[in-house]
Structure 1
Amino acid sequence: MHLRHLHLGSCPDSWGVWFADDPRQTPWPRFLDELAAAGYRWLELGPYGYLPTDPARLRDELAARGLSCAGGTVAGSGGPHRDLPQVMKAVREVAALTRALGARNLVFVPVPGYRDDRTGAYREPAELDDDGWRALVDNTNTLGRMVAEEYGLRLCFHPHADYQVETQAQTERFLAGTDPRHVWLCLDTGHLAYRRADVPKIIRDHPERIGYVHIKQMDPAIADRAVAEDLAFGQAVAMGASVEPPSGRPDVPAVLSALGELEADLFVVVEQDMYPVDFDVPLPIAGRTRAYLNDQGLR
């Protein structure tokens, strides 16, 4: 399969990192050392503040390990349908660092979502009303235009379990409403499969909107149990919902076949949710995952 236009990377999430600062997370120097040791050369930054935020220092740390930045990550500010000034402040911080590191992708992860990851309590309704959808679409367009005009980046929105853009239908509604000049999709194969989306079909139906990819799989039994028992996504992750390929869904070769039909250069970043996790667990998984994806033609 011809996949030379797809570039493989990984990110702190695959080392159990969900927050800027948490003692249960792998220390950042160890993460960078192990990322390089596992054979990756491209890095998504993860939560702002986990890695050094001084551009010169971070450039030096990455260069010392032969790493380059694929994109920045905005997470923790909530969804764009809520407090736009708060979200915009977070976006500007990450956009400035991302541009300084020479990357062009800004991945927007709308967390926290409508549920508490630990307790499962609902913070707000799981479905947006019409006013909420208008705010989501309008504010995302504003953010996308801002990061393009002021930072030269493209905004890649990440559908996320337990946020109001999580299903295939919601993702397609989001794409239909947002401006293709300023908003792309961060196609997270695992989150979409967790909600039973047809991931290859999304790629083929919206080829011009796929701007970035998080590649991962979900255990279908745990995903089904989460629905049956009304568990939050964080609770399902703690049970092992996010699994090492090729043991879950969606089918990785089918996803890569659809991505192989695209013409644009794309980063495909491994993102196996493992929070919390013992520090010794991620490295062997990361190495095996890279080897598996290399065998599938992704390098």
Structure 2
Amino acid sequence: MNLDLDLAFHVSIAVADPTPAALGPLLEELATAGYRRAVLPPLDPAGTDAAALHRTFAEAGMNPIAMTGQRPGADVSSDDHAERRAGAAALRAAVDFAVALGADQLNGVPYGLFGPPGRPTPAGALERAAREVGVVADYASDHGVMMTFEVLNRYETSAINTAAQALEFVEASGSDNLRIHLDTFHMAIEEADMAAAIRAALPKLGYLELGQSGRGLLSTGAVDISGVVRQTLDDGYEGRWGVEAFSRPLVGEGAGDMLAIWRAPFDDGFEQASDAVRVVRRGWAESAPGRRAHRLSRSAG
């Protein structure tokens, strides 16, 4: 019985430089394993051959998910008008790039700078970011792209750390199109009750990423990933899922430094992908939708 979930794999798990040549074999393996999508890291729209990546995904029968962010001098949370405008322009360019890739989803951290915060994010910065991101989310929707924003842990941002804060950000954005991206790796640090947090976010949840406490195989670590899948499906989630893990030799030194990936919890990205499918399948099979699919398949047989 096939896994009936819309599952994505972050390519940085397996390759540091997502060129068409590097991605082609990986995407074919992922499609065979049961993945429908693959997430690209943040790429420079001006310096990337979007058409070539589009062809690579199409040839493998896979769908891309693009990613974006902000940088100093182009930050929608800034109190400087020119800097906010530059940040919003960068987000719109990321939407256009996603369209050129053939992606209908744009992930990332569009609400401010990524990295150790050092201080609380001022309320005014969040309000400014919400307004700008909401406008871009509507722009994305007009172009067939779902824009999400990831909720990170306290060591990567002080802006939005919990599902409750994410819901407040969506409300402040004024957009009906902006969606929340939750990640069990971050939630394991920040949420007192992960299941309750996911349940609360369901009306605006567009993407639920599955990551282990140690960034390694989903079958190892402190988070019961199969249990999360089962409970979330039982609670009625029908959106997309992602798999994320990082190993320093595979992600590369630059991304490894940025994400604080100092170890190598695995050395084979496809092994990680296969392990993740087994863990997710177990949770799906134990859920109400999975049990129902099993009954229907037996009846059809």
TM superposition score category, shorter chain reference: 0.7 to 0.9
The answer for the alignment partner of 1:229 in structure 2 is none
Aligned pairs for 1:45-56 within 5 A: 45-49=40-44, 53-56=48-51
Partner Cα separation in structure 2 for residue 57 and residue 270 of structure 1: 24
Equivalent residue pairs, number: 259
**Which 5+ residue runs of structure 1 have no aligned equivalent?**
18-24, 116-121, 220-241
Higher Rg of the two aligned structures: 2
The answer for the alignment partner of 1:7 in structure 2 is 6
In structure 2, which of residues 77, 81, 93 is the aligned counterpart of residue 81 of structure 1? Answer: 77
The question of whether the paired residues in 1 share the 8 Å contact of 2:10 and 2:244 is answered with yes
Give me the CA root mean square deviation.
3.3
How much has 1:28 moved relative to structure 2?
A: 5.4
Aligned pairs for 1:259-270 within 5 A: 259-261=232-234, 265-270=238-243
Superposed CA offset, 1:202-225 (max 9, x none): 221121100112211113xxxxxx
The question of whether the paired residues in 1 share the 8 Å contact of 2:151 and 2:181 is answered with yes
The question of whether the paired residues in 2 share the 8 Å contact of 1:180 and 1:209 is answered with no
The answer for the alignment partner of 2:58 in structure 1 is 63
Q: Mean alpha-carbon deviation: is it higher for 242-251 or for 200-209? A: 242-251
The answer for the alignment partner of 2:128 in structure 1 is 135
The question of whether the paired residues in 2 share the 8 Å contact of 1:168 and 1:198 is answered with no
Give 1 or 2: higher helix fraction.
Answer: 2
- Residue type at the aligned position of 2:217: E
The answer for the alignment partner of 2:294 in structure 1 is none
Q: Please tell me whether residue 182 in structure 1 is matched to residue 155 in structure 2.
A: no
The question of whether the paired residues in 2 share the 8 Å contact of 1:36 and 1:65 is answered with yes
The answer for the alignment partner of 1:160 in structure 2 is 152
How much has 1:276 moved relative to structure 2?
A: 4.8
How much has 1:60 moved relative to structure 2?
A: 1.8
**Identity, % of aligned pairs?**
19
Alignment TM-score, normalising by the size of structure 1:
0.72
Q: Which has the higher contact order (CA 8 A, sep 6+)?
A: 1
Partner Cα separation in structure 1 for residue 53 and residue 212 of structure 2: 30
- Residue type at the aligned position of 2:92: R
Superposed CA offset, 1:128-187 (max 9, x none): 1221222122222222222223x2322111112311212355334324433350211011
Partner Cα separation in structure 1 for residue 236 and residue 163 of structure 2: 23
Kindly tell me: are residues 31 and 54 of structure 1, through their superposed partners in 2, closer, same or farther at Cα, counting changes over 3 Å?
closer
